Amino acid sequence: MGHRRARGWCKGRRTISLPKVCVAALREHQRRQAAERLAAGPAWKMTDYVFTTPIGSPIDPRNLTRHCHALTEKAGLGHGGFHALRHSAATIMLSMGVPLEVISRTRGHARYAITADIYAHVGSDLQRRAADAMDRALSS
């Protein structure tokens, strides 16, 4: 991601609001991890990572990618990785009417135009909705 930041595509660290279901899942994960820490005893490796192995060490990125692929396959989403999930989240937000500026901030894009360029293909459904909304406004 360093090359993107250098070109001004990415804002880097940011604070975002999470859906309540995600907050609940993270809290449950924290409880499970506390149990793992107790079970591991002195073998536990203290790190700043949120997701770790059962002994607290960082997860090997290849294992994480394999696990992600297995989950997306099981969910019927194909052989997707983390970037595909990020893309899907933005597409869902667009289709639900979340403003482009908000989506751009959650993606960490430095400019709204970057987000618009990446997700321009989502436009047909949104264009139909916009036309329908104009129909309703002009017909009343």
**What are the pLDDT digits (tens) for 71-119?**
888 888 788 777 888 888 888 888 888 888 898 888 888 888 888 888 7
The answer to the question of residue 17 being in a domain is: no
Query: Does residue 42 register a pLDDT over 70?
Result: yes
Q: What percent of the chain has pLDDT over 90?
A: 31
What integer is the mean pLDDT of 41-67?
A: 93
Distance of CA 60 to the CA centre of its chain: 20
Question: Is 66 contained in some domain?
Answer: no
* Angstrom distances, CA of residue 99 to CA of 17, 36, 126: 15, 40, 12
Q: Domain for residue 91, yes or no?
A: yes
Whether residue 115 is contained in a domain is answered as yes
Report helix, strand or coil for 9: coil
Domain that holds residue 130: 79-140
pLDDT band at 35; cut points 50, 70, 90: very high
**Residue 47's pLDDT band (boundaries 50, 70, 90)?**
very high
Domain count, the chain: 1
Mean of per-residue pLDDT scores for the chain:
83
How crowded is the C-beta side of 71, counted as CA atoms within 13 Å?
10
The per-residue pLDDT for range 1-15, each reduced to its tens digit, is: 343 443 455 566 778
Here the tokens at position 34 are 């506390």
